[in-house]
Structure 1
């Protein structure tokens, strides 16, 4: 008998698989969603905790306004709470990649410790590819540089030092070879922090061997606490870190006076050196001016001297040329005279020779005449002897006498000619001698002339050469002087500018020295790390969603499970009576349902816990992968949420069946084996509305009667559908609330595109200069200066941080920030009678318009002020007041220290160029653009959007299972009724429509109730899921109502189509006699 009973229990599952699977599915889905979503936030925290433990993340990053000396590090190391201290260096530098300039943080890496004791290295980088550095010029690069900017292993990173002298002063090498890509616990988000250079935002980090840094002091120190052993997200951990931070700051307060004295002394020495250098520079400039003036005077003197020498040279050359010409003329004259004399001498010689020839001829004639005379005498003698006639002799004698006379006359002439010839020869000889002397003198004169001419030409050439050389030297000196003058004039403005800059630097240095304060140690815990803080907020946001959404989800699933088992027990009323009549105990009969529901619940719980732990945390964590750079999420099964979900599901599945079963077991077997009496028909409210009722046909009237005839079924179904609709609507509404937040904040409320913050040392002329620069820049449409300060707001025991903004010109300020009431959209006026605060901070402080709030401003007295209005705002907290009110509260004017700007074009290049130009200004501390803030929030919204989609899909799946289960129950418990309709001649379609009308009407009622419930649930979820610094939008698009309704109606239609076959397969005979 027991064996048959056990078979019957097993047969329950076999004969009712659909109900069994429905319970299993609804339990599995409810448990999976509840345990999975609730486990996501703890898993996110656990993943980061283990990740930080694995790579020895520091608990505190210590910064100082003046760096750290070795003694500072040692004093920190002596603290009892400190486990280890790791000092380090860092410097920001520019790197060029694919025509883009990237700003990277270069950080020191203790390669020796990394090799010898890697576990002791704080913030040890996680090597993703490549190897660790082995040489000074090797580095580890941020994996983001590989994924986003295309850097590869073995590629060289070259620092740009043209306009960045700081990096040359900080690092020994400017080129590093990438040997590995790493991930760091310091950067778990994709943001890499801010910088005072470039656009103000870092693009990545690079780790280089620490021996590459030239710095004399450490720029930072990482500290590990001994006491911080609990989760980094816990209050216990935070308290222990806060205690350590207090101890460190106390140590700093002891070390800082000594360091301050040393730094002040060094600063005074540097100022003294600077003054000396300035005096030297001014003296050098004056000396240069003096040297140029002296050079110009020397040049003028040289030109005068050259002119005088050239004049003297020209005079001497002219005189020399004149003398030479005179000498040449004399030579020519002498030569002419000599040649004339020579010619005359030669003519005389010719005449002399001619005369001598004539004399010779005369002599010959004389000799011939003597011979003739002798012959004539001989003839005369002979004639005398021969006694020639005397007449003849006389004739001959006369002839002889005549001839002799003539001969004597000729002899006399000849002798005279001889004498004259001798005289002429003597004269000729004399002439020749004189001529020779003349020629000798001429040739001597000519030789002297030529010698003088050669000497003159040489002297002239040398003189001209010397003059030319002097001219060239003078020209060269002039060019050099002109070059020197030009160079001096070119360099003079720079020199004057440098001198002025040096004077300004000296003045600033003297001012800084006068304003110099003791060094301050700033202990930054993990909450100050932008990545960790954002991650914690996201984990808290998921935890907040996990508080409410899964609970409603689980309640709906539990309700359906409860309904299913309740219906099952009620349907088995006859079977219970038979078993009781056969002698089975109450416990045995109860076990029949306990095993059925318990097994379905147990399997569903097991599947739900395993699926929930594996699916939901991974899906949600992967959604945040666009924001964070972390290892895969850890997915342990959490006993608390799993136990809560399991016990709740088991309770909802088992306890109702046992309660109904024991209720039925109180009746006798005979009464149990008889069918339960049908419920008495009653008039419904609609029947009393005659105008409406009489216009309904028979089918519609039956539908209305049936709805209110089974009130419990109606309420259960309506509540189940309402719950699913509310969940779907809440999912869509949450999605809208998150996605609308960004455009509302940055398009409608904060209408500026850029915010420029000035340093504390900035003066009024700096803000005026900045406004002039922005006004002259064509990319800036408008700008406005204002004062802002981080303060605390206090109301009773409540305190909250906020950003105080003081508007100089309230009318102009409205063009940059809109003040309006969120509910009515009515503009809000900023008046002198009080302050305007943002809605979220007012809610946190429990303030309404008309109340007062206390302002806690650093270095100023606490003042209480009236809140005139609450303005719409979604990101961060602000308090606005006028300049007049500030003056009245604090007795001084709030000097502008920030500027809002509206850009003509918000493209990346415009922002980049503008940011680079502004960040170079000494008095500008940071430049931010709403586009980057918008991007950050959009990334967060995308992650949340995926989470919301998961919620919507899960709610939709629950809606389908709920509708399927409730419809199945409805058909099973009304099987006889549907069979009766078939017997009465209803066609299949008519029978189905008979049921579909009820289902559709109940679905519509459930949708309407669900939308009302969804509005309240959405408001609660939004309020719960918000973090302190953010307010989600309170707007829901009308399409959400339609989408939520259509999804539920779609599932209802799908379920109806699935059940159509079940309705058609109802056996009329078997169903009609089922009671028997």
Structure 2
């Protein structure tokens, strides 16, 4: 066996490499998804991220903490929190009150230390990395922040489990509407009567996978229980606050009652007295209503999925897991198929040796053991190396990429289940192949085995029947084409290997291109506006319009009614649907492109019915003509027919004309949003415009499509390392496969090649005798690989699609060029290696009779 390995070291190494590459890709990519989840689970567990967060319109007291802890297993902490502005450019900052006693949502320090006195502040690490702040620098808040002190010394930079994605910090109702970073100062400096945020965690959930369905169901149950206990608490809290505000109002009411009695005593009737005091009474009633509104307690609930970047991280992890269910499996199958073929050919080549052993009296078991051990050793070495290298390297590579913009504690567990699957497949393709062929060979008699197999008889190939073409081929070309079709299994294996490698490389590019294309198509083809401005009230002569028109980058705008709701049909439901009702159905074409998914024709908003975006229609399982039920966040509801389904790649949208909206909800749509078309802006110009609109334009906030597009670009960029790994591994696999199959081809036909060399063929002609077949098979494999790549990419994208995003199948020309050039380069390299080998062939030894 060791002599066999030394004698065919190239083939043995090729088998090990093919198995190793298949296992590295399979185990490595499959282990990446769990590693991402395990790392974040470790991070949020170590920093005690809360499971539920509540915000109250009237603040939280100790009684609220006790109320939350009535739910079994709940641990609650009240925190002072508010959005403020500060810094040189009045950045929007999420400001928290630091309390050393609090255990939940702990900070992970990057540099420095936590606040130790009232003049110290810890900033988000993003403030240092992106905005240039440094330790020892002073940070000054605007007066509107209403803090006990305005200026604080920066003593540390930290990460927070509440903000796992450093590119996203959420929205605010101050500054330009976008939070730039968070900050912590001593809670005593917040100048708030009560806490404004309540963090609630459950001990049992701290050890549950935060991205599992089990965790989601458990959190939903806990939130329902918390809402139940806080429903009664809201009434109690509102009543108590009203009593605090009531004494002054009660005194004023008593004074009015006394004045009324005095007027009646002076001779006026009761009705006349009430009439005379009506303005004062109305003013007092208004003050009472205002006080009731001010003390009305309402809660805003959020779970981990509502935290900035948290859901996106989970979707990214799921996307890699979805890719892992397809790409490495296909990769592994190609590797396994080639390995099976290699082992089969190896045993078939040893017919004479098997016959000799059998003639000498060795048992079938003893003979078979030699080749089974050879196959077992190659498969085991490839599997063990591939499993450990894949499990420990690929996930860490991806985690290192994620750690550049997400604070993570890297956790990579050995995936023993994947090891077992890999070993099973490797043994089937090596030992299984050897067992199958050896058993078949051992059925023959020693005399038959010791003679070479009879060569296959030549047959007319299809190309010969095309007489005009066949006549134009020279002798060598005719021989090559006959040989190519004569050995169909060899031809098939080569084509599969080349097509598989080409398809895998193309798939790597396709995944990257398609994920990026969702943003390009959404914000380049569908969405034509650059900013969405939410108005504080409906007014045709809105101040925001005047500010926009005076801006140098302004082009045009249109007013729409924008709302959010849920849509139901066929037992399915889609939440957080954007409901857009344009004030002008003609102008909307300049801002949003509505195109039918059926025929690409422009869609007109009709007097009745609604238009749904493509992904939502898929989730609801509706077609044109079906009915859907729509409910807004204002609790307006109605039923409408679907008149069209429009192309859309990001988010869920429902479009309706003003008339269709009236028919749907029985009321006129209020124009509360501006869609704005702008010329190219820098980030500073965008921030300035958003800040001015929020400050002077009577708006609730401005969102830019460039920010949303950047989020998708970041999501696409996070897969660059994974895709590069795919491409490199696929390229190496393709080269090894091509080299191995060519090596087998030469070994099997060494007598034939020696014969034509003896007949006077030059070295170059002998090489082309083999290589010409490779060139043809490579070209066929490349063309088929294009189809394989597109099909594989389409399937992976379907598996990786999220509830909010459609990934259009997109593979740009560089992908095809790289895949083609790599295959051509591999063919040229193999041709050079083959040429050198054939030049050194010992013709006499090769042509010696076996007898």
TM-score (norm 1): 0.73
Distance in 1 of aligned mates of 2:727 and 2:598 = 27
Distance in 1 of aligned mates of 2:795 and 2:47 = 40
Deviation at 1:1003, TM superposition (A): 0.8
Pairing 1:197–2:141 present: no
Distance in 2 of aligned mates of 1:526 and 1:813 = 36
Write the mapping of 1:723-762 to structure 2, written as runs, cut at 5 A: 723-758=500-535, 762=536
1:107 corresponding residue in structure 2? 96
C-alpha contact 2:90 2:142 (8 A) present in aligned 1: no
> Which of the numbers 156, 167, 177 marks the counterpart of 2:153?
177
Distance in 2 of aligned mates of 1:270 and 1:91 = 29
Deviations 1:591-644 (A, max 9, x none): 21221111111111111111112221122233334542334x322211122222
Distance in 1 of aligned mates of 2:285 and 2:595 = 47
CA change 1:665–1:968 in 2 (3 A) is same
Pairing 1:209–2:186 present: yes
> Which of the numbers 149, 163, 168 marks the counterpart of 1:187?
163
SS of residue in 1 equivalent to 2:366: helix
C-alpha contact 1:627 1:939 (8 A) present in aligned 2: no
Deviations 1:932-951 (A, max 9, x none): 22222222222223332222
SS of residue in 2 equivalent to 1:154: coil
Which range is displaced more, 548-557 or 784-793? Answer: 784-793
2:258 corresponding residue in structure 1? none
Pairing 1:570–2:348 present: yes
Distance in 2 of aligned mates of 1:212 and 1:699 = 90
Deviations 1:220-262 (A, max 9, x none): 1111113213211111122211111111111110101111223
Deviation at 1:651, TM superposition (A): 1.7
SS of residue in 2 equivalent to 1:181: strand
Deviations 1:431-481 (A, max 9, x none): xxxxxxxxxxxxxxxxxxxxxxxxxxxxxxxxxxxxxxxxxxxxxxxxxxx
CA change 1:927–1:626 in 2 (3 A) is farther
Distance in 1 of aligned mates of 2:589 and 2:485 = 58
1:589 corresponding residue in structure 2? 367
SS of residue in 1 equivalent to 2:645: strand
Deviation at 1:859, TM superposition (A): 5.1
1:930 corresponding residue in structure 2? 705
2:269 corresponding residue in structure 1? none
Pairing 1:613–2:395 present: no
1:875 corresponding residue in structure 2? 650
Distance in 2 of aligned mates of 1:273 and 1:790 = 44
Deviation at 1:269, TM superposition (A): 6.7
Deviation at 1:1045, TM superposition (A): 2.1
Deviations 1:1011-1052 (A, max 9, x none): 122221121111112212111123333453333222222222
> Which of the numbers 96, 110, 116 marks the counterpart of 2:87?
96
C-alpha contact 1:775 1:783 (8 A) present in aligned 2: no
> Which of the numbers 68, 76, 86 marks the counterpart of 2:68?
76
CA change 1:720–1:274 in 2 (3 A) is farther
TM-score (norm 2): 0.92
Which range is displaced more, 676-685 or 935-944? Answer: 935-944
Distance in 1 of aligned mates of 2:420 and 2:827 = 32
Distance in 2 of aligned mates of 1:1044 and 1:273 = 85
Aligned-residue RMSD, C-alpha = 2.5
1:420 corresponding residue in structure 2? none
C-alpha contact 2:637 2:664 (8 A) present in aligned 1: no
Greater C-alpha Rg: 1
SS of residue in 1 equivalent to 2:110: strand
CA change 1:178–1:1018 in 2 (3 A) is same
Deviations 1:668-698 (A, max 9, x none): 2221112111112111122222222222211
2:14 corresponding residue in structure 1? 22
Which range is displaced more, 859-868 or 121-130? Answer: 859-868
2:565 corresponding residue in structure 1? 791
SS of residue in 2 equivalent to 1:641: helix
Distance in 2 of aligned mates of 1:275 and 1:203 = 48
CA change 1:256–1:1070 in 2 (3 A) is same
CA change 1:1046–1:88 in 2 (3 A) is same
Deviations 1:1052-1076 (A, max 9, x none): 2222222221222221111112744
Deviation at 1:586, TM superposition (A): 2.0
SS of residue in 2 equivalent to 1:149: coil
Please list every run of 5 or more consecutive structure 2 residues that lacks an aligned counterpart in the other structure: 255-282
C-alpha contact 1:38 1:543 (8 A) present in aligned 2: yes
1:701 corresponding residue in structure 2? 478
CA change 1:594–1:65 in 2 (3 A) is farther
> Which of the numbers 200, 211, 215 marks the counterpart of 1:223?
200
CA change 1:946–1:506 in 2 (3 A) is farther
C-alpha contact 1:249 1:521 (8 A) present in aligned 2: no
> Which of the numbers 812, 820, 827 marks the counterpart of 1:1045?
820
Please list every run of 5 or more consecutive structure 1 residues that lacks an aligned counterpart in the other structure: 1-8, 115-120, 277-504
2:50 corresponding residue in structure 1? 58
Distance in 2 of aligned mates of 1:1072 and 1:662 = 28
> How many residue pairs end up in the alignment?
821
Deviation at 1:890, TM superposition (A): 1.6
